[in-house]
Amino acid sequence: MENTLVDLQYPIGRPALPEGPLTAAERTVYIEQLAALPAQLTAAARQVGGVRLENPYRPGGWTGRQVIHHVADVHLNFYLRYRLALTEDNPTIRPFDMNAWAALPDIEATPVTVSLALLEALHSRWVTLLWHLTNEQWQRTFYHPLYQQTYTLDQALVQYSWHGRHHLAHIELLSREGGGAPTTS
């Protein structure tokens, strides 16, 4: 059972951050993944349907609704981290409690289409920024106090692209036979 839970929690595996600068070709792959995410997530949510989005994708996991709103919340923060790193010298970013955010009342009250539309606009803006960064700008950094680690924007690109694909895979789990985590009766 343990392997099944790990696979459901990390269906695409864990990210591997680069130690050095990415090549232009590598950046292109990750930027294109970010650019494609809103449409892919929207298509996956439609495939699952509204009722099954209320199911968790794994035992003890968030519902599809929570996942979609989480991606919008977190990607807003990711975009702001880029802007901070580009305009300040190694800024310390502000971590937040994702589980507390997922439990806020707007998660249940807001249709997922609102967060999907937000992601579409946000990623359009973010990807435009990414396409225009210089090699020097990609090496700018921010500090994450929770992990006590400094990240380059190249490393953040890999992490953030993975984050979107990771949660897309969670939504896709809900479209499989059974539509999510088994329920107990």
26 falls within a domain:
no
If one counts the domains in the chain, the total is 1
23 falls within a domain:
no
59 falls within a domain:
yes
184 falls within a domain:
no
pLDDT (0 to 100) of residue 125: 98
Q: pLDDT per residue over 16-58, tens digit each? A: 999 999 999 999 999 999 999 999 999 999 999 989 999 999 9
In order of 29, 116, 121, 165, the CA distances from 34 in angstroms are: 9, 14, 12, 9
In order of 2, 60, 61, 95, 169, the CA distances from 184 in angstroms are: 18, 12, 14, 34, 23
- Domain coverage including residue 43: 36-174
More confident position, 84 or 184: 84
9 falls within a domain:
no
Q: pLDDT per residue over 105-155, tens digit each? A: 999 999 999 999 999 999 999 999 999 999 999 999 999 999 999 999 999
pLDDT (0 to 100) of residue 180: 63
CATH number, position 81: 1.20.120.450
Residues 50 and 156: their CA atoms lie apart, in Å, by: 32
Residues 66 and 168: their CA atoms lie apart, in Å, by: 12
Alpha carbon 69 to its chain's center:
10
29 falls within a domain:
no
Write down the pTM of the prediction.
0.92
In order of 39, 50, 83, 126, the CA distances from 111 in angstroms are: 17, 9, 28, 23
pLDDT (0 to 100) of residue 4: 57
pLDDT (0 to 100) of residue 176: 82
Q: pLDDT per residue over 62-81, tens digit each? A: 999 999 999 999 999 999 99
